[in-house]
Amino acid sequence: MSAASSRLVQTVAGRAGLRPCEVLAQLAERIVVGEDGTVSVPPFTSSW
């Protein structure tokens, strides 16, 4: 993971009161792969 991505995950985790691995787990659970191979994550509110 790039330094910029790592900082973003850490910032989001801090704001949500989560550990970075928990943020990544929630993102992974919501990944959507389009027919053309694009990967996205729809907006969501943390479940933890």
pTM of the complete model = 0.80
* Nearest-angstrom CA–CA distance, 38 and 23: 21
* Nearest-angstrom CA–CA distance, 22 and 19: 5
* Nearest-angstrom CA–CA distance, 36 and 45: 26
* Nearest-angstrom CA–CA distance, 11 and 22: 13
pLDDT of 39 > 90? The answer is yes
Q: Could you state, in order of their start, the residue ranges of all structural domains in the chain? A: 3-40
DSSP state of 39: E
Q: What is the pLDDT of residues 5-29, one digit of tens each?
A: 999 999 999 999 999 999 999 999 9
